[in-house]
Chain A
Amino acid sequence: MKKTAALLTIAILAGVILFVAGANKRKATPFVSADFAMGSVLSASIYGKNDIAPLIFEGIKKAEAENLSEKLSSSDIYKINHSENFSAEVSPYTSGMIKKCVEISSRCGGYFDITVGGLVNLWGFGGTPSVPSQEDIDDALLAIGYDKIFIENNYISKSPGQLLDMGAVGKGAACDIAYDIIKNDASVRGAAVSVGGSVLVCGRGGKSGWTVGVRDPDKTQNDYMGILTLEEGFISTSGNYEKVFEEGGIKHHHILNPFTGYPSESGLKSVTVIAPTGFLSDALSTACFIIGYEKSVGLLEIYGADGIFITEGNEVLLTENVDKSFKITDGNYMYG
Protein backbone atom coordinates (compact mmCIF):
# COMPACT_ATOMS: atom_id res chain seq x y z
CA MET A 1 0.00 0.00 0.00
CA LYS A 2 2.82 2.36 0.96
CA LYS A 3 4.75 1.57 -2.19
CA THR A 4 1.67 1.96 -4.32
CA ALA A 5 0.97 5.38 -2.85
CA ALA A 6 4.57 6.51 -3.35
CA LEU A 7 4.66 5.26 -6.94
CA LEU A 8 1.33 6.90 -7.65
CA THR A 9 2.65 10.20 -6.29
CA ILE A 10 5.79 9.89 -8.41
CA ALA A 11 3.77 9.13 -11.54
CA ILE A 12 1.41 12.08 -10.98
CA LEU A 13 4.27 14.48 -10.30
CA ALA A 14 6.18 13.27 -13.35
CA GLY A 15 3.08 13.75 -15.48
CA VAL A 16 2.51 17.26 -14.16
CA ILE A 17 6.19 18.16 -14.71
CA LEU A 18 6.17 16.92 -18.28
CA PHE A 19 2.86 18.60 -19.12
CA VAL A 20 3.67 22.00 -17.62
CA ALA A 21 7.24 21.95 -18.90
CA GLY A 22 6.03 21.09 -22.39
CA ALA A 23 3.41 23.83 -22.32
CA ASN A 24 5.96 26.36 -21.13
CA LYS A 25 8.39 25.41 -23.85
CA ARG A 26 5.74 25.80 -26.55
CA LYS A 27 4.95 29.30 -25.33
CA ALA A 28 8.56 30.40 -25.30
CA THR A 29 9.52 29.54 -28.86
CA PRO A 30 7.51 30.97 -31.75
CA PHE A 31 8.56 30.16 -35.27
CA VAL A 32 9.87 33.40 -36.77
CA SER A 33 10.24 33.82 -40.54
CA ALA A 34 10.72 36.57 -43.10
CA ASP A 35 10.23 36.86 -46.86
CA PHE A 36 9.36 39.37 -49.60
CA ALA A 37 6.17 40.15 -51.49
CA MET A 38 4.36 43.24 -52.73
CA GLY A 39 7.65 45.15 -52.64
CA SER A 40 7.70 44.72 -48.86
CA VAL A 41 9.15 42.61 -46.13
CA LEU A 42 6.87 39.91 -44.77
CA SER A 43 7.47 38.65 -41.26
CA ALA A 44 5.57 36.13 -39.19
CA SER A 45 5.82 34.85 -35.62
CA ILE A 46 3.81 31.67 -35.33
CA TYR A 47 2.96 30.16 -31.95
CA GLY A 48 1.96 26.51 -32.17
CA LYS A 49 3.06 23.08 -33.26
CA ASN A 50 3.70 23.80 -36.92
CA ASP A 51 5.41 26.65 -38.72
CA ILE A 52 2.84 27.70 -41.30
CA ALA A 53 4.68 30.87 -42.34
CA PRO A 54 5.68 29.35 -45.73
CA LEU A 55 1.98 28.73 -46.46
CA ILE A 56 1.12 32.31 -45.50
CA PHE A 57 3.89 33.77 -47.65
CA GLU A 58 2.89 31.56 -50.56
CA GLY A 59 -0.74 32.72 -50.25
CA ILE A 60 0.27 36.37 -50.27
CA LYS A 61 2.59 35.94 -53.26
CA LYS A 62 -0.20 34.14 -55.13
CA ALA A 63 -2.61 37.02 -54.53
CA GLU A 64 0.02 39.47 -55.73
CA ALA A 65 0.75 37.51 -58.89
CA GLU A 66 -2.82 36.59 -59.78
CA ASN A 67 -4.88 39.48 -58.48
CA LEU A 68 -3.37 42.66 -57.13
CA SER A 69 -0.09 43.57 -58.82
CA GLU A 70 -0.09 46.39 -61.34
CA LYS A 71 3.37 45.29 -62.54
CA LEU A 72 3.02 41.53 -63.08
CA SER A 73 1.33 40.67 -66.36
CA SER A 74 -0.29 37.61 -64.75
CA SER A 75 -2.45 39.70 -62.45
CA ASP A 76 -6.04 40.83 -62.87
CA ILE A 77 -5.18 44.48 -62.18
CA TYR A 78 -2.52 44.42 -64.90
CA LYS A 79 -5.06 42.93 -67.30
CA ILE A 80 -7.58 45.69 -66.57
CA ASN A 81 -4.95 48.43 -66.86
CA HIS A 82 -3.60 47.11 -70.17
CA SER A 83 -6.83 45.99 -71.79
CA GLU A 84 -7.36 47.40 -75.28
CA ASN A 85 -11.07 47.88 -74.68
CA PHE A 86 -10.53 49.11 -71.08
CA SER A 87 -12.30 46.13 -69.55
CA ALA A 88 -11.48 42.62 -68.41
CA GLU A 89 -12.99 39.61 -66.73
CA VAL A 90 -11.29 39.04 -63.41
CA SER A 91 -11.48 36.60 -60.51
CA PRO A 92 -14.28 36.96 -57.96
CA TYR A 93 -11.61 37.90 -55.41
CA THR A 94 -10.32 40.83 -57.49
CA SER A 95 -13.81 41.91 -58.40
CA GLY A 96 -14.79 41.89 -54.73
CA MET A 97 -11.71 43.89 -53.77
CA ILE A 98 -12.44 46.57 -56.37
CA LYS A 99 -16.05 46.72 -55.27
CA LYS A 100 -14.99 47.29 -51.66
CA CYS A 101 -12.53 49.99 -52.73
CA VAL A 102 -15.22 51.83 -54.68
CA GLU A 103 -17.53 51.68 -51.67
CA ILE A 104 -14.93 53.27 -49.40
CA SER A 105 -14.25 55.91 -52.06
CA SER A 106 -17.92 56.85 -52.17
CA ARG A 107 -18.09 57.08 -48.38
CA CYS A 108 -15.12 59.44 -48.10
CA GLY A 109 -15.98 61.68 -51.05
CA GLY A 110 -13.34 60.27 -53.37
CA TYR A 111 -10.31 61.19 -51.27
CA PHE A 112 -9.43 57.51 -51.28
CA ASP A 113 -9.35 56.37 -54.90
CA ILE A 114 -7.66 53.38 -56.56
CA THR A 115 -7.74 55.10 -59.96
CA VAL A 116 -4.73 57.25 -59.03
CA GLY A 117 -2.32 54.85 -60.80
CA GLY A 118 -1.44 57.31 -63.56
CA LEU A 119 -0.75 60.09 -61.07
CA VAL A 120 1.43 57.80 -58.92
CA ASN A 121 3.43 56.81 -62.01
CA LEU A 122 3.78 60.47 -62.99
CA TRP A 123 5.43 61.25 -59.66
CA GLY A 124 7.68 58.22 -60.19
CA PHE A 125 7.12 56.68 -56.77
CA GLY A 126 7.75 53.22 -58.19
CA GLY A 127 11.20 54.26 -59.43
CA THR A 128 12.99 57.60 -59.42
CA PRO A 129 10.56 60.20 -58.08
CA SER A 130 10.44 63.85 -59.11
CA VAL A 131 7.91 66.68 -58.99
CA PRO A 132 5.91 66.69 -62.25
CA SER A 133 4.86 69.83 -64.12
CA GLN A 134 1.48 71.35 -63.25
CA GLU A 135 0.31 70.63 -66.80
CA ASP A 136 1.11 66.92 -66.45
CA ILE A 137 -0.59 66.80 -63.05
CA ASP A 138 -3.71 68.42 -64.51
CA ASP A 139 -3.77 65.82 -67.28
CA ALA A 140 -3.35 62.97 -64.81
CA LEU A 141 -6.18 64.31 -62.63
CA LEU A 142 -8.59 64.06 -65.57
CA ALA A 143 -8.28 60.27 -65.54
CA ILE A 144 -9.00 59.90 -61.82
CA GLY A 145 -12.46 58.97 -60.63
CA TYR A 146 -13.74 55.86 -58.88
CA ASP A 147 -17.17 56.59 -60.34
CA LYS A 148 -15.78 55.77 -63.80
CA ILE A 149 -15.25 52.14 -62.79
CA PHE A 150 -18.08 49.79 -63.69
CA ILE A 151 -18.47 46.35 -62.17
CA GLU A 152 -20.81 43.75 -63.57
CA ASN A 153 -20.37 40.33 -62.03
CA ASN A 154 -16.66 39.78 -62.57
CA TYR A 155 -16.32 42.16 -65.53
CA ILE A 156 -14.53 45.37 -64.70
CA SER A 157 -14.43 48.33 -67.04
CA LYS A 158 -12.72 51.67 -66.59
CA SER A 159 -12.35 54.87 -68.53
CA PRO A 160 -9.49 55.29 -71.06
CA GLY A 161 -6.27 56.52 -69.50
CA GLN A 162 -7.26 55.33 -66.06
CA LEU A 163 -4.84 53.08 -64.20
CA LEU A 164 -5.84 51.12 -61.12
CA ASP A 165 -3.38 50.98 -58.24
CA MET A 166 -4.04 48.67 -55.28
CA GLY A 167 -1.05 49.93 -53.31
CA ALA A 168 -3.29 51.45 -50.65
CA VAL A 169 -5.01 48.14 -49.85
CA GLY A 170 -2.65 45.34 -50.93
CA LYS A 171 -0.72 44.91 -47.68
CA GLY A 172 -3.87 44.96 -45.58
CA ALA A 173 -5.53 42.46 -47.91
CA ALA A 174 -2.44 40.28 -47.52
CA CYS A 175 -3.04 40.29 -43.75
CA ASP A 176 -6.56 39.01 -44.42
CA ILE A 177 -5.10 36.16 -46.46
CA ALA A 178 -2.73 35.36 -43.59
CA TYR A 179 -5.66 35.39 -41.15
CA ASP A 180 -7.67 32.91 -43.23
CA ILE A 181 -4.72 30.51 -43.41
CA ILE A 182 -4.04 30.79 -39.67
CA LYS A 183 -7.66 30.24 -38.70
CA ASN A 184 -7.85 27.11 -40.85
CA ASP A 185 -4.95 25.49 -39.02
CA ALA A 186 -5.88 24.17 -35.60
CA SER A 187 -2.22 23.66 -34.68
CA VAL A 188 -1.65 27.43 -34.52
CA ARG A 189 -2.41 29.03 -31.16
CA GLY A 190 -1.50 32.55 -32.16
CA ALA A 191 0.36 34.65 -34.69
CA ALA A 192 1.75 38.10 -35.35
CA VAL A 193 2.18 38.89 -39.04
CA SER A 194 3.54 42.01 -40.70
CA VAL A 195 3.22 42.79 -44.39
CA GLY A 196 5.36 45.86 -44.92
CA GLY A 197 4.16 47.29 -41.62
CA SER A 198 0.49 46.34 -41.95
CA VAL A 199 -0.04 44.07 -39.01
CA LEU A 200 -2.25 41.17 -37.95
CA VAL A 201 -2.25 39.80 -34.41
CA CYS A 202 -4.54 36.92 -33.49
CA GLY A 203 -4.96 34.08 -31.04
CA ARG A 204 -2.58 33.71 -28.17
CA GLY A 205 1.15 34.35 -28.26
CA GLY A 206 3.57 34.00 -25.40
CA LYS A 207 1.21 35.79 -23.04
CA SER A 208 -2.32 37.13 -22.93
CA GLY A 209 -3.00 39.89 -25.42
CA TRP A 210 -0.63 41.54 -27.88
CA THR A 211 1.43 44.70 -27.78
CA VAL A 212 1.81 46.60 -31.05
CA GLY A 213 4.27 49.48 -31.31
CA VAL A 214 3.13 52.46 -33.40
CA ARG A 215 5.98 53.82 -35.47
CA ASP A 216 7.59 57.09 -34.49
CA PRO A 217 7.11 59.15 -37.69
CA ASP A 218 10.35 61.05 -37.05
CA LYS A 219 12.55 57.99 -36.64
CA THR A 220 13.12 54.66 -38.35
CA GLN A 221 10.58 51.89 -38.88
CA ASN A 222 12.08 50.13 -35.86
CA ASP A 223 11.28 52.97 -33.45
CA TYR A 224 7.87 53.34 -31.87
CA MET A 225 6.33 56.25 -29.98
CA GLY A 226 3.51 54.38 -28.27
CA ILE A 227 2.13 50.95 -27.53
CA LEU A 228 -1.28 49.62 -28.44
CA THR A 229 -2.54 46.63 -26.44
CA LEU A 230 -5.21 44.42 -27.98
CA GLU A 231 -6.46 40.86 -28.04
CA GLU A 232 -6.77 40.52 -31.80
CA GLY A 233 -6.94 42.83 -34.77
CA PHE A 234 -5.60 44.37 -37.94
CA ILE A 235 -3.48 47.50 -37.75
CA SER A 236 -2.17 49.67 -40.60
CA THR A 237 -0.32 52.95 -40.59
CA SER A 238 -0.04 55.60 -43.30
CA GLY A 239 2.56 58.29 -42.80
CA ASN A 240 4.47 61.09 -44.42
CA TYR A 241 7.76 59.21 -43.96
CA GLU A 242 7.29 56.53 -46.62
CA LYS A 243 8.90 56.91 -50.06
CA VAL A 244 9.98 60.47 -49.31
CA PHE A 245 12.17 62.47 -51.66
CA GLU A 246 13.43 66.03 -51.49
CA GLU A 247 13.31 68.49 -54.35
CA GLY A 248 13.71 72.25 -54.25
CA GLY A 249 14.22 72.09 -50.48
CA ILE A 250 10.80 70.51 -49.97
CA LYS A 251 10.14 66.95 -48.85
CA HIS A 252 7.48 65.10 -50.82
CA HIS A 253 5.77 61.92 -49.60
CA HIS A 254 3.84 59.36 -51.62
CA ILE A 255 0.26 59.68 -50.34
CA LEU A 256 -1.32 61.76 -53.08
CA ASN A 257 -4.49 63.79 -52.81
CA PRO A 258 -6.64 62.71 -55.81
CA PHE A 259 -8.11 66.22 -56.11
CA THR A 260 -4.94 68.33 -56.00
CA GLY A 261 -2.52 65.80 -57.48
CA TYR A 262 0.05 66.65 -54.80
CA PRO A 263 1.11 64.88 -51.60
CA SER A 264 -1.64 65.24 -49.03
CA GLU A 265 -1.39 68.08 -46.51
CA SER A 266 -3.86 67.42 -43.74
CA GLY A 267 -1.68 68.44 -40.81
CA LEU A 268 -0.87 64.84 -39.95
CA LYS A 269 2.38 62.95 -39.74
CA SER A 270 0.69 59.57 -39.56
CA VAL A 271 -2.56 57.73 -39.01
CA THR A 272 -2.79 54.24 -37.54
CA VAL A 273 -6.10 52.43 -38.00
CA ILE A 274 -7.30 49.38 -36.10
CA ALA A 275 -10.07 47.67 -38.05
CA PRO A 276 -12.03 44.41 -38.29
CA THR A 277 -10.15 43.42 -41.47
CA GLY A 278 -6.72 44.10 -42.92
CA PHE A 279 -8.26 45.52 -46.07
CA LEU A 280 -10.20 48.08 -44.04
CA SER A 281 -7.27 49.04 -41.82
CA ASP A 282 -5.07 49.69 -44.86
CA ALA A 283 -7.66 51.53 -46.96
CA LEU A 284 -8.93 53.62 -44.05
CA SER A 285 -5.45 54.63 -42.89
CA THR A 286 -4.82 56.10 -46.35
CA ALA A 287 -8.24 57.76 -46.51
CA CYS A 288 -7.92 59.22 -43.01
CA PHE A 289 -4.43 60.51 -43.67
CA ILE A 290 -5.78 62.49 -46.62
CA ILE A 291 -9.02 63.79 -45.12
CA GLY A 292 -7.59 64.62 -41.69
CA TYR A 293 -8.74 63.94 -38.15
CA GLU A 294 -12.09 65.77 -38.02
CA LYS A 295 -13.60 64.04 -41.06
CA SER A 296 -12.03 60.70 -40.20
CA VAL A 297 -13.90 60.15 -36.94
CA GLY A 298 -17.25 59.59 -38.69
CA LEU A 299 -15.70 57.46 -41.43
CA LEU A 300 -14.04 55.17 -38.91
CA GLU A 301 -17.29 54.81 -36.99
CA ILE A 302 -19.07 53.53 -40.09
CA TYR A 303 -16.63 50.63 -40.33
CA GLY A 304 -16.24 49.88 -36.61
CA ALA A 305 -12.64 51.03 -36.79
CA ASP A 306 -10.45 53.19 -34.58
CA GLY A 307 -7.59 55.55 -35.19
CA ILE A 308 -4.42 56.97 -33.67
CA PHE A 309 -3.59 60.31 -35.32
CA ILE A 310 -0.23 62.03 -34.93
CA THR A 311 -0.30 65.69 -35.91
CA GLU A 312 2.59 67.74 -37.26
CA GLY A 313 2.80 69.31 -33.80
CA ASN A 314 3.31 65.84 -32.24
CA GLU A 315 -0.14 65.81 -30.68
CA VAL A 316 -1.73 62.36 -30.50
CA LEU A 317 -5.47 62.23 -31.16
CA LEU A 318 -7.33 59.03 -30.36
CA THR A 319 -10.80 57.78 -31.18
CA GLU A 320 -12.91 56.64 -28.28
CA ASN A 321 -12.19 52.90 -28.24
CA VAL A 322 -8.39 53.18 -28.24
CA ASP A 323 -8.35 55.79 -25.52
CA LYS A 324 -7.49 53.21 -22.87
CA SER A 325 -5.60 50.68 -24.95
CA PHE A 326 -2.94 53.05 -26.34
CA LYS A 327 -0.13 54.57 -24.30
CA ILE A 328 2.47 57.08 -25.43
CA THR A 329 5.96 55.89 -24.53
CA ASP A 330 8.02 58.72 -26.05
CA GLY A 331 8.27 62.07 -24.30
CA ASN A 332 8.31 63.96 -27.61
CA TYR A 333 4.60 63.25 -28.03
CA MET A 334 1.58 64.38 -26.02
CA TYR A 335 -2.11 63.55 -25.94
CA GLY A 336 -4.19 66.11 -27.81
Chain B
Amino acid sequence: MDKIFRKCDALIIISLILLSMLALAAAGKPPFNKGGDLYAVIYVNGKEIEAIPLSSAEIGYEINTDTSPSTVIRIEKNCACFLNAECRDKICVNTGNLTKSGDAAACLPAGVVIVLKSAGKSKVDIIAY
Protein backbone atom coordinates (compact mmCIF):
# COMPACT_ATOMS: atom_id res chain seq x y z
CA MET B 1 0.00 0.00 0.00
CA ASP B 2 1.41 3.42 -1.00
CA LYS B 3 2.12 5.99 1.69
CA ILE B 4 -0.33 8.89 1.52
CA PHE B 5 2.34 11.48 2.36
CA ARG B 6 5.92 11.55 1.28
CA LYS B 7 8.67 13.77 2.64
CA CYS B 8 8.07 16.45 0.00
CA ASP B 9 4.35 16.47 0.87
CA ALA B 10 5.23 17.04 4.51
CA LEU B 11 7.49 19.93 3.47
CA ILE B 12 4.67 21.47 1.45
CA ILE B 13 2.28 21.17 4.39
CA ILE B 14 4.77 22.67 6.85
CA SER B 15 5.42 25.51 4.41
CA LEU B 16 1.70 26.12 4.11
CA ILE B 17 1.28 26.18 7.88
CA LEU B 18 4.09 28.73 8.14
CA LEU B 19 2.50 30.75 5.35
CA SER B 20 -0.86 30.64 7.12
CA MET B 21 0.74 31.94 10.31
CA LEU B 22 2.28 34.80 8.36
CA ALA B 23 -1.08 35.55 6.75
CA LEU B 24 -2.78 35.59 10.14
CA ALA B 25 -0.14 37.91 11.54
CA ALA B 26 -0.54 40.19 8.55
CA ALA B 27 -4.34 40.21 8.87
CA GLY B 28 -4.18 41.10 12.54
CA LYS B 29 -1.72 43.86 11.89
CA PRO B 30 -3.22 47.32 11.86
CA PRO B 31 -3.16 49.31 8.64
CA PHE B 32 -0.49 51.67 9.95
CA ASN B 33 3.20 51.50 10.47
CA LYS B 34 3.24 50.28 14.06
CA GLY B 35 0.63 48.79 16.38
CA GLY B 36 -0.62 51.54 18.69
CA ASP B 37 0.25 54.45 16.38
CA LEU B 38 -1.95 57.44 17.04
CA TYR B 39 -3.54 59.53 14.35
CA ALA B 40 -5.75 62.57 14.56
CA VAL B 41 -8.89 62.56 12.47
CA ILE B 42 -10.35 65.98 11.77
CA TYR B 43 -14.03 66.28 10.90
CA VAL B 44 -15.74 69.39 9.59
CA ASN B 45 -19.54 69.31 9.71
CA GLY B 46 -19.46 65.55 10.13
CA LYS B 47 -17.19 64.86 7.19
CA GLU B 48 -13.68 63.56 7.65
CA ILE B 49 -11.30 65.99 6.03
CA GLU B 50 -7.95 64.73 7.26
CA ALA B 51 -6.34 61.82 9.13
CA ILE B 52 -2.88 62.70 10.39
CA PRO B 53 -0.46 60.10 11.80
CA LEU B 54 0.86 61.76 14.95
CA SER B 55 3.93 59.56 15.29
CA SER B 56 5.32 61.11 12.12
CA ALA B 57 4.83 64.70 13.31
CA GLU B 58 8.43 65.16 14.44
CA ILE B 59 8.13 68.92 14.04
CA GLY B 60 4.92 70.50 15.29
CA TYR B 61 2.74 72.43 12.88
CA GLU B 62 -0.63 74.13 12.73
CA ILE B 63 -3.69 73.69 10.57
CA ASN B 64 -6.15 76.53 9.99
CA THR B 65 -9.65 75.30 9.32
CA ASP B 66 -11.56 77.18 6.70
CA THR B 67 -14.64 77.45 8.88
CA SER B 68 -16.69 80.19 10.44
CA PRO B 69 -15.60 80.82 13.13
CA SER B 70 -12.13 79.64 12.19
CA THR B 71 -10.05 77.35 14.37
CA VAL B 72 -6.34 76.55 14.58
CA ILE B 73 -5.37 72.95 15.26
CA ARG B 74 -1.90 72.20 16.58
CA ILE B 75 -0.34 68.87 15.59
CA GLU B 76 2.66 67.54 17.48
CA LYS B 77 4.30 64.17 17.95
CA ASN B 78 1.65 61.97 19.64
CA CYS B 79 -0.47 65.02 20.53
CA ALA B 80 -3.10 67.30 18.98
CA CYS B 81 -5.21 70.19 20.28
CA PHE B 82 -7.22 73.24 19.38
CA LEU B 83 -4.65 76.00 19.71
CA ASN B 84 -7.09 78.79 19.02
CA ALA B 85 -10.66 79.40 17.92
CA GLU B 86 -12.66 82.50 17.15
CA CYS B 87 -15.68 81.11 18.98
CA ARG B 88 -17.00 82.74 22.15
CA ASP B 89 -16.66 80.11 24.84
CA LYS B 90 -13.37 78.44 23.78
CA ILE B 91 -14.49 75.07 25.15
CA CYS B 92 -12.47 73.42 22.38
CA VAL B 93 -9.26 75.20 23.40
CA ASN B 94 -9.89 74.51 27.08
CA THR B 95 -10.26 70.79 26.36
CA GLY B 96 -6.47 70.81 26.15
CA ASN B 97 -4.13 68.26 24.62
CA LEU B 98 -5.45 65.05 23.11
CA THR B 99 -2.89 62.36 23.75
CA LYS B 100 -4.56 58.96 23.69
CA SER B 101 -6.91 56.96 21.55
CA GLY B 102 -10.51 58.03 22.03
CA ASP B 103 -9.63 61.56 23.13
CA ALA B 104 -11.81 64.11 21.37
CA ALA B 105 -12.31 67.86 21.25
CA ALA B 106 -14.90 69.85 19.40
CA CYS B 107 -15.66 73.42 18.42
CA LEU B 108 -19.42 73.29 18.01
CA PRO B 109 -19.83 76.78 16.50
CA ALA B 110 -17.24 75.93 13.82
CA GLY B 111 -18.43 72.37 13.32
CA VAL B 112 -14.91 71.00 13.82
CA VAL B 113 -14.13 67.79 15.72
CA ILE B 114 -10.76 66.18 16.39
CA VAL B 115 -10.79 62.52 17.40
CA LEU B 116 -7.63 60.60 18.24
CA LYS B 117 -7.62 57.02 17.04
CA SER B 118 -5.18 54.24 17.43
CA ALA B 119 -4.57 51.17 15.37
CA GLY B 120 -3.54 49.45 18.57
CA LYS B 121 -5.45 48.49 21.69
CA SER B 122 -6.78 51.21 23.98
CA LYS B 123 -7.59 50.58 27.63
CA VAL B 124 -11.18 51.73 27.15
CA ASP B 125 -13.53 51.52 24.19
CA ILE B 126 -15.35 54.75 25.02
CA ILE B 127 -15.64 57.37 27.78
CA ALA B 128 -18.91 58.37 29.46
CA TYR B 129 -18.96 62.03 30.44
Chain B CB within 8 A of A55 CB: no
CB proximity to B under 8 Å, residues A1-49: 1-2, 5-6, 9-10, 13-14, 16-17, 20-22, 24-25, 28-29, 32-36, 39-41, 43, 45
Whether A212 contacts B5 in the complex (CB less than 8 A), given A20-B24, A32-B117, comes out as: no
Set B23, B31, B111, B124: member contacting A211, Cβ < 8 A: B124
What count of chain A residues pass the 8 Å CB interface test? 55
A195-235 vs B, Cβ < 8 Å mask (1 yes, 0 no): 00111010001100011111100001110100110000001
Chain B CB within 8 A of A237 CB: yes
A41 to B95 CA separation, bound complex (whole angstroms): 13
User: Would you give the shortest CB distance from A306 to chain B, in whole angstroms?
Assistant: 13
- Using a CB–CB cutoff of 8 Å, the interface residues on chain B facing chain A are 2-6, 9, 12-13, 16-17, 19-20, 23-24, 26-28, 30-31, 41, 43, 45-46, 48, 88, 95-96, 98-100, 102-106, 108, 111, 113, 115, 117, 121, 123-129
Set A1, A36, A210: member contacting B2, Cβ < 8 A: A1
- Using a CB–CB cutoff of 8 Å, the interface residues on chain A facing chain B are 1-2, 5-6, 9-10, 13-14, 16-17, 20-22, 24-25, 28-29, 32-36, 39-41, 43, 45, 57, 128, 192, 194, 197-199, 201, 205-206, 210-215, 220-222, 224, 227-228, 235-237, 239, 272, 329
> Taking CB as reference atom, which chain A residue is nearest B111?
A36
Are A2 and B19 closer than 8 Å at their CB atoms? no
Are B127 and A21 closer than 8 Å at their CB atoms? no
Residues of B with C-beta under 8 A to A43: 104, 113, 115, 126
Can you list 23 A-B pairs with a CB-CB distance of less than 8 A? A2-B6, A5-B5, A5-B9, A6-B9, A10-B16, A21-B26, A24-B27, A28-B28, A33-B43, A34-B46, A36-B45, A36-B106, A36-B108, A41-B104, A43-B126, A194-B126, A194-B127, A210-B125, A212-B126, A212-B127, A212-B128, A272-B128, A329-B123
A185 to B101 CA separation, bound complex (whole angstroms): 27
Residues of B with C-beta under 8 A to A32: 41, 115, 117
Residues of A with C-beta under 8 A to B103: 222
> Taking CB as reference atom, which chain A residue is nearest B16?
A13
Set B4, B28, B106, B115: member contacting A1, Cβ < 8 A: B4
Residues of A with C-beta under 8 A to B106: 36, 41
Whether A45 contacts B126 in the complex (CB less than 8 A), given A24-B24, A32-B115, comes out as: yes
Are A222 and B27 closer than 8 Å at their CB atoms? no
